[in-house]
Every structure is written in C-alpha cells, then in structure tokens.
Amino acid sequence: MTQDKRIIDVSPFLESGDFSGLRETLDKLHPADIAEILEGLEEKDRFRVFDVLSPELASETLAELDEELQESLIHESDEKTIGAIFEEMATDDAVDIIGDLPREDAERVFSTIEKEEAEELKELLQYDEESAGGLMTPEVLTISEDRTADQAIVEVREKAKEFEEVFTVFVVDMEGRLKGNISLHNLILADPASKIHDIMETDVLYLTTDVDREEVARIMAKYNVVVIPVVDGESKLLGRITFDDVMDIIEDETTEDILLFAGVDEEEELTGGPTQAVRSRLPWLCINLFTAFIAASVVGMFTEVISKKVVLVIFMPIVAGLAGSAATQTLAVTVRGMALGEITTGKALGLIKKELIIGVINGIGVGLIVSLAALLWHQNLILGLLVGVSMWINTIVASVAGAMIPLALRRFGADPAIASSIFIHAITDVIGFFVLLGLGTMMIVYI
C-alpha cells in the first residue's frame, strides 16, 4: 500500500459511531501512520480514535507522537488504560515518554504498572537522556559462554519470545560481564557440539552509559552495526541500543542543527503557537539587528566618499553578498564534518589552511568576473580593479571565517550550529563594506 493511501479519513467512522469498523481499519495501519492521523484531528476526536486502539498498538502509536500529544493523551486516559499501554510498551520508549511528562502524570503512570517494572524505569530515568544510558533498553538476549551451540539455540528460541527483534546474542559470564557476541546466522550454522566461547566474537564493540548520544549514532554509523551493547565500569552488560534508536537521534540532531543554523531554538515546534515562535526567534533577530548596526556604522564612516562616488553603493551588496554565500558553503561543510566526528582538534589548523587556499582561488575567480562586469558597465578600469580586489579579499575572509566560527564555538563549549550564519554575514558585511569603501577613499580621484 502506498503512503498516501495509508492516511485514511476517520471522520465517517466517528460520525456514524462505527468504532468496531474504525478499530478494524486502524489495526491494518502502521503506528506511524496512525500517529499522523491523530496529529491532524481535533483534541476530542483524537482521544476517541486513540481509545479504540488495542494496548499494543496504542503503545507503539504513542511512541511515534510528539511530547505535547503524548502528555495530552496520557492525561486524558484512565489508570486501567495507561497500565495496559505501558505494559506493552518497549522499555526505552517508556523511559523517553515518562521522562518528558510532568511529575504528576509520571507518578500516575508509575502507580498503574507493576512495582518491579516501575523501579526499573525509575532506575533508567537516572541516566542523562542525552547519553547511551538514557537511550538503551535493558532487555538483552544473553547466553552463557559455556553452552554448546545446540543448547544455545534452544535457549535463544525460548528467550526470543520476549523480544520484538533479535539480531545478535550477547555472551556473558556467571557475573553478567560481557564476554562476546554471536550473530544468529553464525549460531545456526555452527557445529551443534561446539562451545559458544570457541565460536563467539570476542572483539566486541560496546559503549559505556556516559557516552553522548550523538557519539552513539556516529559510532554505529561508522561501524555499520544494528545493535550495540552498553556496559558499566566493570563490563557488566546493562542494555543495548538498536539502529532504530539511532535513526531517531540522527533526525533529532539534524533538525536541531538546521534550526540552530538559522538562529531558531530547537524547542520550537511546527504545531506550536505564535508565542513560542516569537520567543524562539526574536532574540536571534535582535542579535542580527545589532550586527547590522555594526555594518551600518562602517558605511557611515565613508559617507563623504559615497556622496561623491555613488557608483560604489551599487557594488556593496555584491561584494558582501557573494562573500556571505562563500562563507555559508564553508560553514555547511565544517558543521557537517564536526557533526560526523571528521573534524577533530588536531585537524582544525589543516581545515583553516585548506579553506584559506580555497578562498584565495575562488576569490580570484569571482574577483575577475566582477572586475570585468564593473569595467564593461562603467567603462572605468580603476573601478573594476577596486571592486575585484575587494571581492577577492572578502572571499578569503569569508572562507576562513566559515571554518573558524564553528570551531571557536565548539572550543568554548557551544553548539557549532548556533546561529553561525548570523555571525558569518556580519563579518562579510563589515569587511566587505570596509575594504570596498576604504579602497574607494584611497582611489577616489581615479574612479
């Protein structure tokens, strides 16, 4: 079934009161599609649709919704429904949802589930949500290293009933310390009499609970693993992180970087109200306004030359704007490289040198073009040279700044994507105007 046919209109079911038909129809859909349907409904209809879902489907759908809708649906549901939903929910999803709930609603959830499960969730909530510990699920399929392959297969077959997906079996000793792993493929093909400790992989990639979640995503992407174990300081196996968790991280971090790159707070939601959007954007616009005044003050320093040679004003946006585009290119490449872990502290100087060379070459190219354009347009060789040199200098500055600003932000502990473009354009405007008008002042008698 194609994506557009999956998003159905539930209005006829609600209007006719045909909830059994609605339940039957929704049972055929993916939880992500049901979540999209719920997001498009009014609040009263949203809860009516959510209420017909089976506990299992409701738990999966709830995990696909944004925080605001999760809170709303949990708040409106009765204790019996909440208990049934969280009984079916994956532990990592439950931790994420409860961690974002108001304290009153979180305590209400804990009161509806078994005490042992509630204690486990509370323990997981102690980990930083931005860390591997906050991301992992504690349900792990393990076998002992002293089992034979035949015994292990029987054990895995029995234990796997409790898991939705099984990719890898982790091997532990009597104290629960991680010793290795073995894929289901290799386990099935192994000699039935062979010992697990003889056929398992001992060079196991693992994480500790304090690893940042962006680093988790980078490691799993780099080594192409679908599941990675999480251990404590004594190598005791605590949980696992799967590729679907990493996909969520990549989506979240990409969204955050895009918004911060433009000077928009990552907390702003598309469905949020105007107040939230204004609170998110206005501070950065004020900063941008301040930098614009700096650029304007530079122009103000040269009012005399501008009044005499108005032609210079024509080329001001060209010199500043094109350099801003060059800086944005460098900035995009730099921020991406930093996000993927490709640009370390040791490589920073090399990156700056590279961008300096690129700026010199690109500056010559665009400088020659704008010089020729100025010459043909105004029939003035000196004006053409002046504009070309200004373009060349500003492009060099722009390329270097595009690399240095995100590196500097990271050095001071800030997110490299935070409104970098605002600072970049401030620099290219100030330098571009100063160089163009400064050279214009020096060469005014020849223009």
DSSP state for residue 143 in the 8-state scheme? E
User: Would you say 263 and 341 are in contact if contact means Cβ atoms under 8 Å apart?
Assistant: no
In degrees, to the nearest 5, what angle opens at C-alpha 411 toward C-alphas 406 and 412? 100
Q: What are phi and psi of 408, to 5 degrees?
A: -65, -40
Per-residue pLDDT for 389 more than 90? yes
- Interior/surface letters 179-215, b for 16+ CB within 10 angstroms, e for the rest: bbbbeeeebeebeeeebbeebbeeebebbebebebbe
| CA neighbor of 285 nearest in space, from 404, 402, 422, 151 | 422
Q: How confident is the model at residue 79, as a pLDDT?
A: 92
* Average of per-residue pLDDT values in the chain: 87
As a CATH number, domain 3-126 is 1.25.60.10
User: Would you say 85 and 54 are in contact if contact means Cβ atoms under 8 Å apart?
Assistant: no
User: 43-87, pLDDT tens digit by residue?
Assistant: 889 999 999 999 999 999 999 998 889 999 999 999 999 999 999
Per-residue pLDDT for 1 more than 50? no
User: 96-113, pLDDT tens digit by residue?
Assistant: 899 989 999 999 999 999
- Cα 154 from Cα 7, distance rounded (Å): 42
Per-residue pLDDT for 363 more than 90? yes
Residues spanned by CATH 1.25.60.10 within the chain? 3-126
3-class secondary structure, 356: helix
**Is the pTM higher than 0.85?**
no
User: Would you say 8 and 29 are in contact if contact means Cβ atoms under 8 Å apart?
Assistant: yes
**pLDDT-based confidence at residue 406 (cuts at 50, 70, 90):** confident
Residues spanned by CATH 3.10.580.10 within the chain? 142-250
Q: How confident is the model at residue 2, as a pLDDT?
A: 43
CA dihedral angle for residue 215, residue 221, residue 225, residue 231, rounded to 10 degrees = 0
Q: What are phi and psi of 113, to 5 degrees?
A: -115, 165
Residue range 348-362: mean pLDDT, rounded: 92
387 by Cβ neighbours in 10 Å (0-12 / 13-18 / 19+) ranks as buried
- State how far the alpha carbon of 117 is from the alpha carbons of 14, 136, 161, 175, in Å: 36, 16, 18, 22
How many Cα neighbours within 13 Å face the side chain of 318? 20
Q: Which two tokens stand for residue 2?
A: 């194609």
Q: How confident is the model at residue 213, as a pLDDT?
A: 87
Element (H, E) at 169: strand 168-172
- Cα 177 from Cα 234, distance rounded (Å): 7
Residue range 412-428: mean pLDDT, rounded: 77
CA dihedral angle for residue 57, residue 59, residue 65, residue 71, rounded to 10 degrees = 140
Residues spanned by CATH 1.10.357.20 within the chain? 274-446
Q: Which long-range contacts (CB under 8 A, 24 or more apart) does 36-44 make?
A: 36/7, 37/7, 37/8, 37/10, 38/65, 38/69, 39/65, 39/66, 39/69, 39/271, 41/10, 43/72
User: 192-230, pLDDT tens digit by residue?
Assistant: 999 999 999 999 999 999 999 888 988 988 888 889 999
Q: What order do you get walking across the sheet with 142-144 strand by strand?
A: 142-144, 168-172, 178-183
Element (H, E) at 189: helix 184-189
- State how far the alpha carbon of 13 is from the alpha carbons of 10, 17, 18, 60, 179, in Å: 5, 6, 5, 22, 54
Q: Which CATH superfamily is domain 142-250 in?
A: CBS-domain (3.10.580.10)
- Cα 216 from Cα 405, distance rounded (Å): 25
3-class secondary structure, 167: coil
Q: How confident is the model at residue 444, as a pLDDT?
A: 87
As a CATH number, domain 274-446 is 1.10.357.20
